[in-house]
Amino acid sequence: MGEDQMHKHALTRAGVAAAGAALLVGGLSACGGAGADGAAAGKPAGRAAPKAESPADAVKASYVKTAAAKFARYDMTITGGDGKSDQLTGTKGWYPATTGIDAKGGDGRQVMLGDVIYTNVDKPLQGKSWMKMNLNKDGKPRHRLNDDPAEYLALLLGQQKLTLVGTEQPDGVEAKHYKAGLTGAELLAADESTKVMAEAERQSLHEALKDYSAFEVDLWIGKDGYPVRVDTSRVAGDGTTKISAKFSGYGTAEPVAAPPADQVVDFDDVMKGVGKSLEETDGKLKEADQTLKDAGLGGLGGS
């Protein structure tokens, strides 16, 4: 082979090697470089940064978790339009709605199951320590707010005006603070997210909210996904009511239950007994009055 042929052969081999190197570099760039989706070199293509949880998503996730817990302890302050406040502690239950009120001061315990209230009395009535009163006299269900954490979350489902205020520490517990100010029409509006509720529960809440023309809510959700505090201000026909509630013990609070049946007397039976006693007393007074008149003493009313 001559010198010129050897030189051409070397150039040919160098050209093949350069072309191969170019193909190799190009292949590596296609696999590891920035692709059509903008993925950085060395990172898997098509994996975007995780989307931040929206307030609506946070409330929906908290609702699902809270609804399953069924019971929680509460500490609640209720302030009416007259400025007077009541403080209550006890246990709240939901689906079905129940409330247990701890004894405080001279007041006895109370238990509310749906439309039925049981009150622990200081002095036994007809030998019983609890009195039962049914608020539902006509058989029609009463739709009222239970002020439990699941209910507070439910009324915020799908509300577009819900905003994240920030991360705070109410009572030393780290939580995310959400806020919404809603009109009566917005309270009654619903979107797809409300489908996480059972239809009967959604309808009952819808009916209860018809009484309100405005509703402001401040909600704090803890790291565990449960509400730790809810402050509300609601406007109805009887004025403005403010409620501040703290919740704890989800899933560990004792269920709210009716007292033993053998310790309960019905309010209607008590009133019947009172009515009968009054009739007997009235009869005796009439007899005494007539006796005095017959004796010429002018009766109980005097001469």
Two structure tokens written together for 225: 């996904």
Which of 247-263 are b and which e, b meaning 16 or more Cβ less than 10 Å from the residue's Cβ?
bbebeebeebeebeeee
Beta carbons of 25 and 158 less than 8 angstroms apart? no
> What's the CA gap between 86 and 220, in Å, rounded?
22
Which of residues 37 and 181 earns the better pLDDT score?
A: 181
Angle at 91 between CA 153 and CA 263, to 5 degrees: 140
Any idea which fold 55-97+146-248 has?
outer membrane lipoprotein receptor (LolB), chain A (2.50.20)
Its sign, for the CA torsion 164, 166, 171, 172, is positive
Other CB atoms within 10 Å distance of the CB of residue 2: 7
> What's the CA gap between 8 and 10, in Å, rounded?
5
Quick one: pLDDT at residue 26? 41
Other CB atoms within 10 Å distance of the CB of residue 288: 12
Classify 220 as helix, strand or coil. strand
> What's the CA gap between 65 and 224, in Å, rounded?
10
Q: How confident is the model at residue 268 (pLDDT cuts 50, 70, 90)?
A: confident
**228 exposed, middle or buried (CB, 10 Å; 0-12, 13-18, 19+)?**
buried
Quick one: pLDDT at residue 85? 95
Classify 234 as helix, strand or coil. strand
Two structure tokens written together for 76: 């609640």
Quick one: pLDDT at residue 270? 84
Pairing state of beta strands 128-134 and 264-266? parallel
Provide mean pLDDT across the span 165-181: 95
Quick one: pLDDT at residue 218? 98
pLDDT > 50? residue 5:
no
Spell out the domain ranges in the chain: 55-97+146-248
Q: How confident is the model at residue 103 (pLDDT cuts 50, 70, 90)?
A: confident
Two structure tokens written together for 5: 């042929």
Beta carbons of 152 and 230 less than 8 angstroms apart? yes
Quick one: pLDDT at residue 294? 62
Quick one: pLDDT at residue 168? 97
- Of 159, 193, 206, nearest to 63 by C-alpha is 193
- Of 164, 274, 269, 160, nearest to 218 by C-alpha is 164
Quick one: pLDDT at residue 278? 55
Q: How far is CA 277 from CA 281, 282, 288, in A?
A: 6, 9, 17
pLDDT > 50? residue 4:
no
How many residues in the chain? 303
Provide mean pLDDT across the span 69-73: 97
pLDDT > 50? residue 248:
yes
Q: What does the pLDDT look like over 16-49, one tens digit per residue?
A: 344 343 333 344 334 444 444 444 545 555 666 6
